[in-house]
Chains A and B, each alone.
Chain A
């Protein structure tokens, strides 16, 4: 049997973007009034455009901002996100869960209970999703992404001693 069905276009979290950066971006965009052009935003953030763009991509992927003719606009979710004071990322739990590598990781933990970054990276590489062409760096990037997003969003728990991810314990 041949695979002719095109792969679903997966959402991929840029490997070098951290949750904290997205939070800063949304806060600053909000403080300027919810609509700002990209160069101004970069200036306000004290970041290079080259650094800003992947952060912007991530924010858009999460549904926090829209870009329109070079302007960045906060969405309704973005406004709500900006006003929340604690555990912002938990608000985005469901969104994060649709993005790779988190989607695959969640899928794997629901089946295998515990899973390593290597397992997730391997499974994603099978469908052609890689963050780096070198396998060891790819694994490292996947692990960093899982730690920096999925734990914040309360999707996964992580034990550094064994290097294993598991389903997050429900939080009070």
Chain B
């Protein structure tokens, strides 16, 4: 699928959030949640969104996913406006959101189930391949209840990858894992998502963990507390692999913290 269309060149804008506002209506009083939020994610970029907890960064991600309609403004993905959930955008959730009554393979297949262009056999092959890529070969027939947190999130990643999305949304994907597991999964996820072989052209990560952001992101969008406005953007110009102990790393972390406070 990804080979049939012309590949956008590096630097092309993949996702554009344009002047997005969101109000909740509580007892007729509009309650602003997001105010005039604009940002972009370019080709091969991993963009991180951060901000104080409860500021609405996950809500912003859901607007990009088409799950929530903004009160004003719009989101463009690959040049077309997001009007609802779409096939070329996929998502990995904080709490994995696997179906406990389906095995790992069946969970990945669930994500592929709307694909009319594939036979059941092709879907199985794709799902197996996605699990293999996520480091879970051999675990196809295991139920989520028997997997560790890290493995569950690998199933979540495999499910999202199997649909061959152009845009991958990560909603605090490592925050319900223990440090050791999160550390490993972070490294693997980056190489899994940003590489010439995948369909993924842009990744948007929502996280409150600044070190995690500096480790992974090409660009950081910092939001303010409620209602959320963009208070700044930081381009993390640091070569990879990034050494978390280095002085340079700390300087980038500091930069983001300064914007946050």
Direct A–B touching in the complex (beta carbon < 8 Å)? Answer: yes
* Whole-angstrom CA separation of A157 from B146 in the bound complex: 14
Question: Which residues of chain B are within 8 angstroms of A160 by Cβ–Cβ distance?
Answer: 103, 141-143, 146
Question: Which DSSP category, helix, strand, loop or mixed, fits chain B's interface?
Answer: loop
Q: Is the CB of A20 within 8 A of B142?
A: no
Question: Which residues of chain B are within 8 angstroms of A161 by Cβ–Cβ distance?
Answer: 103, 141
* Whole-angstrom CA separation of A148 from B152 in the bound complex: 12
Q: Is the CB of B180 within 8 A of A45?
A: yes
Shortest B212–chain A CB gap in Å is 13
Could you say which of A20, A144, A152, A168 contacts B181, with CB atoms under 8 Å apart?
A20
The residues in B between 230 and 246 inclusive whose CB is less than 8 angstroms from any CB of A are none
> Which residue of the partner chain B has the closest CB to A52?
B180
Question: Which residues of chain B are within 8 angstroms of A154 by Cβ–Cβ distance?
Answer: 138
- How many positions in chain A have a CB within 8 Å of any CB in the partner chain? 23
Q: Is the CB of A148 within 8 A of B141?
A: no
Residue of B137, B141, B184 contacting most chain A CB atoms (<10 Å): B141
User: A20-B180, A23-B184, A46-B179 in contact; A147/B150 too (CB < 8 A)?
Assistant: no
Could you say which of B139, B179, B181 contacts A151, with CB atoms under 8 Å apart?
B139
Question: Which residues of chain B are within 8 angstroms of A27 by Cβ–Cβ distance?
Answer: 184
* Whole-angstrom CA separation of A171 from B183 in the bound complex: 28
Q: Is the CB of A24 within 8 A of B184?
A: yes
Residue of B138, B179, B181 contacting most chain A CB atoms (<10 Å): B138
Whether, in the assembled complex, A125 has its beta carbon less than 8 Å from a beta carbon of chain B, the answer is: no
One digit per residue, 1 when the CB lies within 8 angstroms of any chain A CB and 0 when it does not, for chain B 10-31 equals 0000000000000000000000
Whether, in the assembled complex, A21 has its beta carbon less than 8 Å from a beta carbon of chain B, the answer is: yes
Question: Which residues of chain A are within 8 angstroms of B180 by Cβ–Cβ distance?
Answer: 20-21, 24, 45-47
Interface of B with A (CB < 8 Å)? 103, 137-139, 141-143, 146-148, 150, 179-181, 183-184
Interface of A with B (CB < 8 Å)? 18, 20-21, 23-24, 27, 45-47, 143-144, 147-148, 151-152, 154, 157-161, 168, 171
- A-B CB contact pairs (8 Å), 22 listed: A20-B148, A20-B180, A20-B181, A21-B181, A23-B184, A45-B179, A45-B180, A46-B179, A47-B179, A47-B180, A144-B146, A147-B139, A147-B142, A147-B146, A151-B139, A154-B138, A157-B138, A157-B141, A158-B138, A158-B141, A160-B142, A161-B141
